A and B are shown apart, each in its own frame.
Chain A
């Protein structure tokens, strides 16, 4: 009896380990930036390209930074959730438009000079927000993806919760679903705003 029980127990353990392992999300990589100050940047604003936005301006406020691009399919999926959030909540939502032109494989951006690329970025990003609704307090243009690297972006969309002291308190990779919003982001916002 005992002789056959042990292999069975071993098998059961293996099955449980595999079940847990295969159900983990490999994209869920813990960000080393949580608990650290949000990296500084100064980028042109989509609504007023001659003006720049910097995270310093948000000190004293709890805010969300959402990385998006018009070529990003998952962004379209999460967009209604963000639009709904912007209607209900007064939390500032800043969009980081990530490699709008360069990230789109369909465009050969090597042919464009910087000014032409910026014009194209503004036209595409602005057009997309006009069509799908604009939940953002403002969006900034990360044309070459440099700021994205500083924020450890590796899969658009990504969302950061940043507290009053400018510390990143949470990072979510992938589309924001109503569940994640209600279960994780909103409670954290409530806690940080107190």
Chain B
């Protein structure tokens, strides 16, 4: 009995000793729906510290803070659009992975399409021009064909003017 008690005490001491040293996991929201919305919203957002990572995937301090902030907003019953607005009003359109369509982003949205159309037009123009150039070449006449063949077969034949 006494041995068991000792083992129990040692085990408890171990737990107590380890507890504070282990880093605590970030608090998970109690309900799954909140977490799902958090992930959905934060994957649309850029982490500003490590700019090519989404807010949901980033481990930066600020990303943690912002996720906590979004969680609070969800608990307050704000809509996704309102939460997006909260972020954009502080960090600008840059936080959004899908930039809104407006004057300054027109080139961003339609630039690739324009480039593609321009390249396609250039290709068509080039092909048509080449076709016309080929069509312009008339076939050899009978006399010319014979001369060409003679030249190909007889290497020693002197070139005629």
Contacts and interface: CB of A to CB of B under 8 A. Distances in A.
B7 to A, nearest CB: 28
B90 A30 contact: no
Contacts of B51: 26
B91 A154 contact: yes
A178 interface: no
Contacts of A102: 61
B49 A31 contact: no
A152 B92 contact: yes
B61 A32 contact: no
Contact of B61 (A26, A31, A99, A110): A99
Interface stretch (A76-84, A117-125, A143-151, A159-167): A143-151
A181 B130 CA distance: 60
B69 interface: yes
A108 interface: yes
Contacts of B69: 146, 149
Contact residues on A (Cβ < 8 Å of other chain), bracket:
20 to 34
Contacts of B65: 144-145, 149
A194 interface: no
- Pick from B24, B88, B92 the residue with the most CB of A within 10 Å: B92
A58 interface: no
Interface in A52-94: none
A92 to B, nearest CB: 24
Given A99-B61, A111-B20, A155 B49 contact: yes
A31 B48 contact: no
Interface residues of B, number: 18
Interface in A89-117: 99, 102-103, 105, 108, 110-111
A108 B92 contact: no
A108 B23 contact: yes
Contacts of A154: 48-49, 62, 91
A155 B91 CA distance: 12
Given A149-B69, A154-B49, A31 B92 contact: yes
Contacts of A20: none
Contacts of B90: 32-33, 149-152
A9 interface: no
Contacts of A145: 62, 65
Nearest to B65: A145
Q: Report which residue of B23, B51, B88, B91 has the largest number of chain A beta carbons within 10 angstroms of its beta carbon.
A: B91
Contacts of A103: 61
Contacts of A33: 90
Interface string B6-46: 00000000000000100110000000000000000000000
Contact of B92 (A29, A99, A155): A29
Contacts of A105: 61
B62 to A, nearest CB: 6
A29 B48 contact: yes
Given A30-B92, A154-B49, 11 more contacts: A29-B94, A31-B92, A32-B88, A105-B61, A110-B23, A145-B62, A149-B90, A150-B90, A151-B90, A152-B90, A154-B48
6 contacts: A26-B51, A32-B92, A102-B61, A103-B61, A146-B69, A154-B91
Interface of B: 20, 23-24, 48-49, 51, 61-62, 65-66, 69, 88-94
